[in-house]
Each structure stands twice: as structure tokens, then as C-alpha cells.
Amino acid sequence: MAKEIKLEPSRSFREFRLLTGKTTIKNITSKVSLRTKLCTLPGKKGKFINLNIPFISAAMQAVTGIRMGIALAQHGGIGVTPCSIPISEQVSIIQGVKQFKAGFHEDVFCVKATDSLKSVAKTIKEKGYNSFPVTSNGKMNGKLLGVIRDREFDLKGDLDLTVKERMSKRYLTAKEGITLKDSNSLMIKNGATHVYVMDTKSHLKFVVFRKDLLRQMEYPEGTIDHNRRYCIAGSVSTQPKDQKRVDALIEAEADAIFIDSSDGFTQFQKDVIDYVRTKSKTIPVIGGNVITREGFRFLAESGFNAVKVGMGIGSGCITQEQKGTGRGQATAIREIVEERDIYLKETGTYIPIISDGGIGNSSHMVIGLAMGSDSIMMGRFFAQYSESSSAMRKHPQLGPVKEYWMEASNRARNYGRYETSKDLFFEEGVEGFVPLTGSMHDNIWEPIQKIKSALSNAGCANIPEFHKDAVLELQSIASIQDGGIHDIITN
Ligand code: IMP
């Protein structure tokens, strides 16, 4: 006989509904904030990385690449890059996101005065840049000699000339030490598109771009780091070979490391955080996935900065069928949130909880948050947007669809997530499609608005209030049926 057989069935988010609380002018939908805690900051008790929306895109090949990372950070969430791709590919996604809207760019493409305009024209065509600092060594940190822009030369007629013959000496400069705010005001006052920041010897240290300022104005809720770059996280497996991946993620300045594992109640998770801490005392490390209070406590006591919860409930996951392991997400979250609160009372440390997997629509999001999750990690939900990493296809019945494949499908073969290997691999996930909804930029307002509206119905103005005051009720099958469309014929 097993050590214990729990006879109370585990529950899904789908089985619960939120009851109403008193709505006042303080918590009408337009006043609701979805700001939430992603993770604690190591060594800074009581400090967190915060998100403006509680959304995290899953560490999956089909989901999080550069476009997803940028778009989600623009709206106030964060993407997690998968660890089932080569390290160099993962690093280049992180770099792509970081470079998209840096405040002070340190690695701008420069040219030399002796370079030919032909090579500049080639770079314009290949990389899409249209302005290049001209420095003594053709690199950042060289002496700034001029600027060459696509408008300064004839892209057809001048190609035999050198940069020196066409470069401009009219550009805006500032001294190293200027704040981003001051360099932005300087740029606006002078109607300039760039500020070139130099040290006392006229060596080019940074470039500030007007387009970054415009992007900041367009997405004021964006998740940004101390350098005003968009935030992006990286995942690693617990396999020892991924120590190299940890090193690369730290070097690339990922904002957090997520351990990607289907069963996070393992000694290997502690081994990973111990290794990370020999390399960085400051990068947050998120552990998981766990589904029991014991699993949570193990990760909390191992020093993790947030914990992911969920096993066997992802949209294309077949773990429960294959191995019989897993748990209803509502039960897992409820138990772990209870343990998190006990841990908080004992230690004074609040560990954010991430609900990972199985969330397909805004009603599940609302219930997950009400139960005490601080944020939600989603794969299928983000796969529906054009920014997800997968290819778009025309499905004969469904029209435009995006390919979506799980990490333990034959296509992704993420051995690290399942502590397996090439020879012993079996599938724990399937491969399929999700209907394409369009761009995240045009559509993400809708789930956000629905969640805000639910908080307002519950009489709550923000997520901490929601955690404290939400009242949920388990539904009977009949009441769930009543809550759906019934007794009418729809068009
Ligand atoms: P979804 O949002 O329901 O599609 O679930 C996404 C989550 O499922 C991910 O964040 C992972 O935690 C989990 N997951 C990813 N790949 C697999 C798999 O192959 N089997 C089981 N779970 C998976």
C-alpha cells in the first residue's frame, strides 16, 4: 500500500468561481492595477522584481524568442527563453531583447573614416541601420570623428568614395555621466535623433537613440532593468552540462534564471542554485515545478527567489497519462500558497508563486490569481500571437494557425526538463496547432481588461488586495453548465 492515499479529489481552476465584493470608486476597473511580484531580489530583503501585468511566457521553443520577449516586456510582463536550444541561440535572444530599447547603447555598429561607402551601403542593406558613428578604430571607445547617415551619400552614385568624404561633423554630443533623462531632454530640445556620449578624451562611450524614447512613450508600462532595457529571463535544466548555460546567461545579463524542470522537488535544483551563487550573488533564481507543500518548502529553504507550480496540466501535456504523476492546479496552488504564508510568518520572507501551465483563458487567469498566484506562466496562450516563435500555417478548416509543440514532444526533445537522455526519451507532450489571433499588441488588452474587471467585481484594486479579499466557491457540474451558454441556439 502507498504511504498515503488522499481521497479528496484534486481540483482544477475550471471548477471555481469568484464571488463579488463591494465595488467602490476606489476599485472600478479603470483604477485596478495588475502590478505584481515576479521574484525576490537576492540579498535585498523585502525587495522584488515587479511586473506591471502578471504574465510570463513559457520557456518553450514554440513560444519565447526575440519578438515575444520584446512584445511581452513592452506590455509589462516577461519572457523566459527556452533551454532546449543551443546556448548561443538563447544568448542571442537575450541580447536582441536587451538591445532593442537600451537607454545607453554601448555596442553600436561603428565604421572607420577609411571604410568604403560601398561597405556602409552593404551594412545598411543587411542590418537595416541608417546611421553610424565614425571612430578612429571603427569601434566603440574609439575617438569620435564624425557620423555617416544614409542621407549623407548617394546609395548608388557615391559607392567608390570613402566614409571620410561624406561624413558629417554635425551631431549632438554629451559628456559621460549625463543622466538618461537629461540626454533625452537634450535630444528633444535640439530635434536630434541621437546623442553621442563621450569621455573627456572624445572617446565614444554610449549612444542614446530617439527611437528608444519614442518606444518608452508608447509603452510606459514596460518591464525594464536598471539600464532601461527590456527585461528577459533565461531557463536552464538541472543537468550539470547546463552550468555553461548558467555562465552564459549571467554574462548576457539575463534578468533571472528559471530552472526548467517538470519535477522540481529534487536535490538537483539545490545544486543549480548553489552553482549560480558561486557565479552571481544578485541574479534571481526561480525553482520548480512543484505541486506539494513539501516541494515548496524544500525550494524556499534552498534560497529560491520564486517558485513555479504545476505538473501534468499543460495544454499539450501527456505526463499524467504516461506516468500517472501530476495534480489539479487549483489544489496544488492552494496548498503551496498556504505553505508560502506559513513560511512568510516564520521567516519574514514572501516568496512569489508562479502558476505554470493549463491556463487557456482569462477566467482561469482570474481564478489562479485569486487563489494566491502572483503571476502566471503560459505557453499555449502566447503561442496564439504572431510574436510567438513558431511558424504560421494555413489550416484547411481553422484558417491561419500557429504551430505549437510541447517541450517533451518528439519535435522539441527537451531531455533536461525530464532528466532523460536521447536513448531513454519518451514523449510527455504532443505537437499541434493553435488558431492565430493576430498581434499581441492588438489583442492583449482584452485579457488584461477582463482580469481588471474581475478584481473590480471582487471589490479589489490590486493583486495584494485580491489575494487577501477574494472569495472563491467550488461549483457543481450543474452550476458550471449554467455558467456557460445554454438553452439558446447560437449563430
Ligand atoms: P500551457 O500554457 O498550458 O500550454 O502550458 C505550458 C507549460 O507546460 C510550460 O510552461 C511547462 O511548464 C509545461 N510543459 C512544456 N512542455 C511540456 C511537455 O512536453 N509536457 C508537459 N508539460 C510541458
- The model's pLDDT over 293-308, given as tens digits with 9 standing for 90+, comes to 999 999 999 999 999 9
Of the segments 118-122, 262-266, 398-402, which one has the largest average pLDDT value?
262-266
CB count in 10 Å sphere of residue 124: 18
Confidence of residue 181 (pLDDT cuts 50, 70, 90): confident
Q: Looking at residue 467, what is its pLDDT?
A: 98
Q: Looking at residue 227, what is its pLDDT?
A: 83
pLDDT digits (tens, 9 = 90+) for 467-487: 999 999 999 999 999 999 888
Q: Looking at residue 32, what is its pLDDT?
A: 98
**Poorest-pLDDT segment among 207-221, 373-387, 425-439:** 207-221
Look at residue 337 and tell me whether its pLDDT is greater than 90. Answer: yes
Q: Looking at residue 385, what is its pLDDT?
A: 95
Q: Which ligand 1 atom lies nearest to the CA of residue 382?
A: 2
Look at residue 218 and tell me whether its pLDDT is greater than 90. Answer: no
Name the more confident of 105 and 17: 17
Q: Which ligand 1 atom lies nearest to the CA of residue 357?
A: 5
| All three cell numbers of 93 | 535572444
pLDDT digits (tens, 9 = 90+) for 54-69: 999 999 999 999 999 9
Is 460 in the active site? Answer: no
**Poorest-pLDDT segment among 100-109, 170-179, 403-412:** 100-109
CA separation for the pair 364, 371 (Å, rounded)? 11
Residue ranges, comma separated, of all CATH 3.10.580.10 domains in the chain are 117-209
Q: Which of 83, 110, 231, 317 is catalytic?
A: 317
DSSP tag of 148: E
Cα 475 to averaged position of ligand 1 atoms, centre (Å): 26
CA distances, 410 to each of 61, 392, 456 (Å): 12, 20, 44
Cα 407 to averaged position of ligand 1 atoms, centre (Å): 7
Nearest to 189 by CA among 213, 222, 207: 213
Q: Are 384 and 437 in contact (CB under 8 A)?
A: yes
CA separation for the pair 382, 437 (Å, rounded)? 10
- % of the chain exceeding 90 in pLDDT: 79
Nearest to 167 by CA among 126, 206, 120, 210: 120
Letter for the amino acid at 350? Y
Look at residue 128 and tell me whether its pLDDT is greater than 90. Answer: no
Cα 386 to averaged position of ligand 1 atoms, centre (Å): 19
| All three cell numbers of 488 | 439558446
Q: Looking at residue 153, what is its pLDDT?
A: 81
Strand segments (E) across 13-116? 16-18, 36-40, 48-51, 55-57, 78-81
Look at residue 144 and tell me whether its pLDDT is greater than 90. Answer: yes
Is 210 in the active site? Answer: no
**pTM score:** 0.86
Look at residue 358 and tell me whether its pLDDT is greater than 80. Answer: yes
Q: Looking at residue 126, what is its pLDDT?
A: 80
Q: Looking at residue 8, what is its pLDDT?
A: 95
Q: Looking at residue 423, what is its pLDDT?
A: 85
Mean per-residue pLDDT of the chain: 94
CA separation for the pair 336, 353 (Å, rounded)? 8
- Residues 6 or more apart from 362 whose CB is under 8 A from it? 446, 447, 450, 451, 454
| All three cell numbers of 151 | 542621407
CA separation for the pair 385, 63 (Å, rounded)? 9
Cα 262 to averaged position of ligand 1 atoms, centre (Å): 8
Q: Looking at residue 297, what is its pLDDT?
A: 98
Cα 392 to averaged position of ligand 1 atoms, centre (Å): 20
208-223: average pLDDT: 85
Domain 33-101+224-452 fold: TIM Barrel (3.20.20)
CB count in 10 Å sphere of residue 398: 12
Look at residue 127 and tell me whether its pLDDT is greater than 80. Answer: no
Q: Which ligand 1 atom lies nearest to the CA of residue 260?
A: 12
297-323: average pLDDT: 96
Nearest to 357 by CA among 335, 375, 379, 336: 379
Nearest to 336 by CA among 379, 299, 367: 299
Query: Which of 60, 377, 415 should be mutated for ligand 1, with most atoms under 8 A from CB?
Result: 60
Look at residue 156 and tell me whether its pLDDT is greater than 80. Answer: no
Q: Looking at residue 154, what is its pLDDT?
A: 81
Q: Looking at residue 318, what is its pLDDT?
A: 93
pLDDT digits (tens, 9 = 90+) for 232-249: 999 999 999 999 999 999
Q: Looking at residue 266, what is its pLDDT?
A: 97
Of the segments 86-100, 172-186, 284-298, which one has the largest average pLDDT value?
284-298
Report the greatest alpha carbon distance in the chain.
Answer: 86
Of the segments 165-169, 199-203, 350-354, 441-445, which one has the largest average pLDDT value?
350-354
Confidence of residue 326 (pLDDT cuts 50, 70, 90): very high
Confidence of residue 456 (pLDDT cuts 50, 70, 90): very high
Query: Which of 307, 355, 365, 406 should be mutated for ligand 1, with most atoms under 8 A from CB?
Result: 406
Nearest CA to ligand 1 atom 22: 317
Confidence of residue 323 (pLDDT cuts 50, 70, 90): very high
Cα 402 to averaged position of ligand 1 atoms, centre (Å): 16
Q: Does the domain made of 117-209 have the CATH classification 2.130.10.10?
A: no
175-190: average pLDDT: 89
**Which residues approach ligand 1 with their CB closer than 6 A?**
58, 60, 262, 289, 310, 314-315, 317, 319, 356-359, 377-381, 406-409, 428-429
Residue ranges, comma separated, of all CATH 3.20.20.70 domains in the chain are 33-101+224-452
Q: Are 137 and 114 in contact (CB under 8 A)?
A: no
Query: Which of 407, 409, 411, 434 should be mutated for ligand 1, with most atoms under 8 A from CB?
Result: 407
Q: Which ligand 1 atom lies nearest to the CA of residue 358?
A: 3
